[in-house]
Structure 1
Amino acid sequence: MKVVVMGAGVIGVTTAYYLARQGAEVVVLDRQPGPGMETSYANAGELSYGMTSPWAAPGIPMKALKWLFMKRRPLFIWPLISPRMWKWGAQMLTNCTEEAYDLNKSRMVRVSNYSRDVMPDLIAETGIGYDGREQGTLQLFRTEKQLKASKADQAILAEFDSPFEVLDRDGCIAAEPALELVRDKFVGGLRLTADRTGDCRLFTMALADKTAELGATFHYGQKIRLIQTRGEEVIGVMTENLGRVEGDAYVCALGSFGPKLLGPIDIRLPVYPVKGYSVTLPVTDDAFAPQSTIMDETHKVAITRLGDRIRVAGTAEIAGYSNKLGPHATDTVRHVIGDLFPKGGDLDRAEGWTGLRPMTPDGTPVLGPTRYRNLYLNTGHGTLGWTMAAGSGRAVADLVMGKKPEIDFDGLTAARYGI
């Protein structure tokens, strides 16, 4: 079977790997000059299995209003004249109920737990390196109110079999010794012990090489113009330079850009880009640098150790498809790393980045079949593409190859949106 995979980010490459491993003839198309060069390029670096939850949650609308007035706010909304943006926002608001949150959370955890379970096998069988660590995530609380509010999260973590530890100030410092220097700035934390960290782009590049060794062909610098259909099947993908690329099956793993191709063939996918920012800086002193991931609950900023570098990522900006990195865009993430690890890294050498997270209004990715018998989706992972990549890639590849997936696709497909 010949399978055309659209997109060479972490989602597309993991899907291609699992397809090639099962004997498929795989062709991967991407407009960038190499793998993992868009949303996968400089994300937070978290494999955050324990922090899998939808953004749409009870209380979020009120929190969002407060965030908009913070000096270093985690959320920016630019009121564009975009019916698609406002429809997506309205759909998100309808998911901010207890009932919707519980349902969406259960669907997301199904994918992330599966990814957590299969990731070690993928690493063992490929032997790839990606600056990976297995020291968990420390959710850091600056106030007693945040610490008390975490009891609700603890109940959910216990329900979904995600191991955790509740830590006082000294416990946080034991997990992250460099925090001793700023011990007066936090009161405690919640440590998610099953979480891992690693450089998503390094992983994607290394896995692309392994996938090519299995016989897959990667065509970079190829902008996809349109998907061609006849009746109930896809018959080809038109590219800028290669012309039409044909296959027996097709997988769309284009993240935020998927809806631009899917809309013309009447798949109105509610995936919208939510912009995020990061900086990457060199470690200057290991004794004062983070050892794993710290999530600053106040600013919603993640600080992750990646080898001899520190990645600091956060901010949610709803601004359409703008990929502009303005002069003050990374001020919040720079503030947080300077505030918590003032001697750990060289901010003067920090490299800024921005990328578009493909968000669904309910937080759950869109996986599996479509109205076209040979077109499949693997998209809409939001901030959790790196976390869910191995699991969703393997499950979708199994489906394409006619093998029963090891997870239930109920509630994960486009059918939940009536498309």
Structure 2
Amino acid sequence: MKVIVMGAGVIGVTTAWYLARAGAEVVVIDRQPGPGLETSYANAGELSYGMTSPWAAPGVPQKALRWLFMKRRPLFIWPLISPTMWAWGAQMLKNCTPDAYRVNKGRMVRVSNYSRDVMPDLIEETGIDYDGRAQGTLQLFRTQKQLKGSKADQEVLAEYGSPYEVLDQDACIAAEPALAEVRDKFVGGLRLTADRTGDCRMFTLALAEKCAEMGVEFLYGQAISDIVVENGEIAGVETEMAGLITGDTYVCALGSYGARLLKKIGVRVPVYPIKGYSVTLPVTEDAFAPQSTIMDETHKVAITRLGDRIRVAGTAEIAGYSNRLGPHATDTVRHVIGDLFPKGGDLSKAEGWTGLRPMTPDGTPVLGPSSYPNLYLNTGHGTLGWTMAAGSARVVADCVLGRDPEIELDGLTAERYGT
């Protein structure tokens, strides 16, 4: 079986790995000159198994309104003349109910927990180095109101078997000693002990090399312009440079850009780009730097230790497909690292980045079969592509290979959108 995988981000490359490992002939196509150069390039670095939740949640519309008036706000909405954007937003609002949240949360955790379980086997088998750490995530609360409000999160974590610890100031400092320098800026935290960290780009590069060793062919610099349909099946993908590339089966793992391509052939999945920002800076003094991941609950910013670097990521900007990195775009993430770890890293050497997260209105990724018998989907992971990569890829590879996935696909496929 020859499988064409569209997209060489962490989702596409991990899918290619599981397919090739099972003996499939695999070709990966990407418009970039190498793997992991878009959303996978400089994300937060979190494998957020304990923080797997949809953005569409009860109370979020009210919070979003308040965020719009914060000086260093976590959310920006540009009122574009875009029916797609407003339709996506309306669908998201419909999912901000307790019942919808419960359903969507359950679906997402199903994928996340599976990814948590299979990722160690992948790492052991490949021996990949990706600056990984297994020290959990500390959700840091600056106010008593936030700490009290985390009770609802604790109940959800307990329901889904995600281990956690509620920490006071001293316990937060025991987990992250550098916070002793700023103990007056927080009141406590929630530590998610099953979470992991690591450089998604390093992982994707290393796994692509392993794929190539198994015979996977990578066609870089090849933008896909169309998917060709003949007799009710996918007959090939048209590229701008190499022309038509054909296979037996196709997997769309193009992130935010997949929805526009799929729409041309009548496959409508409401995946919309949500822009995020990060900076990466060198560690200056280890004793004053983070040791794992800290999530600042106020600004919705994650600070993650990646070897001798610190990655600071956050902000959700709804601005269409713009990849512009404006002069003040990273102000919020820069503020948070300077506020919590003022001696830990050299902000003067921080490298800014922006990327588009492929978000569904219900938060759940779109996995598995489509309305075409030889087209499969692996997209819509939002901020959790790195977290869900291994599990999603294994599920989709099993579908392609005609095997029963080890988790239920109910509610995960494009069928929930009627397509």
Structure 2 equivalent of residue 313 of structure 1: 313
Structure 2 equivalent of residue 14 of structure 1: 14
- Where do residues 14-413 of structure 1 align in structure 2 (5 Å cutoff)? 14-413=14-413
RMSD between superposed Cα atoms in Å: 0.4
Offset of 1:152 from its aligned partner?
A: 0.4
Rounded Cα–Cα distance in structure 2 between residues aligned with 1:149 and 1:72: 21
The one-letter code matched in structure 2 to 1:329 is A
The one-letter code matched in structure 2 to 1:397 is A
Rounded Cα–Cα distance in structure 1 between residues aligned with 2:271 and 2:241: 27
Rounded Cα–Cα distance in structure 2 between residues aligned with 1:411 and 1:268: 16
Offset of 1:269 from its aligned partner?
A: 1.2
1:166-187 CA distances to partner (integer Å, 9 max, x unpaired)? 0000000000000000000000
| Contact 1:157/1:163 (8 A) holds in 2 | yes
1:254-285 CA distances to partner (integer Å, 9 max, x unpaired)? 00000121011001110000000000000000
1:347-406 CA distances to partner (integer Å, 9 max, x unpaired)? 000000000000000000000101100000000000000000000001100110011110
| Contact 1:232/1:371 (8 A) holds in 2 | no
Could you say what secondary structure the match of 1:273 adopts?
A: strand
| Contact 1:5/1:252 (8 A) holds in 2 | yes
Could you say what secondary structure the match of 2:312 adopts?
A: strand
The one-letter code matched in structure 1 to 2:126 is T
Rounded Cα–Cα distance in structure 1 between residues aligned with 2:414 and 2:395: 15
Offset of 1:232 from its aligned partner?
A: 2.1
Rounded Cα–Cα distance in structure 2 between residues aligned with 1:77 and 1:412: 28
The one-letter code matched in structure 2 to 1:42 is A
After TM superposition, the score normalised by the length of structure 2 is 1.00
Could you say what secondary structure the match of 1:265 adopts?
A: coil
| Structure 1 stretches lacking a partner, 5+ long | none
Rounded Cα–Cα distance in structure 2 between residues aligned with 1:418 and 1:50: 30
The one-letter code matched in structure 2 to 1:195 is D
Offset of 1:334 from its aligned partner?
A: 0.2
Could you say what secondary structure the match of 1:119 adopts?
A: helix
Rounded Cα–Cα distance in structure 2 between residues aligned with 1:268 and 1:30: 21
Rounded Cα–Cα distance in structure 1 between residues aligned with 2:259 and 2:379: 10
Rounded Cα–Cα distance in structure 1 between residues aligned with 2:157 and 2:231: 45
The one-letter code matched in structure 1 to 2:115 is S
The one-letter code matched in structure 1 to 2:274 is V
Rounded Cα–Cα distance in structure 2 between residues aligned with 1:322 and 1:127: 37
Aligned residues between the structures? 419
**How many percent of aligned residue pairs carry the same amino acid?**
81
Rounded Cα–Cα distance in structure 2 between residues aligned with 1:102 and 1:247: 39
Offset of 1:157 from its aligned partner?
A: 0.4
Offset of 1:53 from its aligned partner?
A: 0.2
The one-letter code matched in structure 2 to 1:107 is R
Rounded Cα–Cα distance in structure 1 between residues aligned with 2:222 and 2:158: 45
| Contact 1:176/1:291 (8 A) holds in 2 | yes
Rounded Cα–Cα distance in structure 1 between residues aligned with 2:369 and 2:311: 35
Rounded Cα–Cα distance in structure 1 between residues aligned with 2:346 and 2:84: 41
Offset of 1:62 from its aligned partner?
A: 0.3
Rounded Cα–Cα distance in structure 2 between residues aligned with 1:43 and 1:311: 8
Could you say what secondary structure the match of 1:363 adopts?
A: coil
Rounded Cα–Cα distance in structure 1 between residues aligned with 2:209 and 2:242: 22
Rounded Cα–Cα distance in structure 2 between residues aligned with 1:245 and 1:394: 24
- Moved beyond 2 Å, runs of 4+: none
After TM superposition, the score normalised by the length of structure 1 is 1.00
Rounded Cα–Cα distance in structure 2 between residues aligned with 1:346 and 1:116: 33
The one-letter code matched in structure 1 to 2:262 is L
Rounded Cα–Cα distance in structure 2 between residues aligned with 1:232 and 1:110: 32
The one-letter code matched in structure 2 to 1:115 is S
Offset of 1:230 from its aligned partner?
A: 1.4
Rounded Cα–Cα distance in structure 1 between residues aligned with 2:400 and 2:303: 37
The one-letter code matched in structure 1 to 2:395 is A
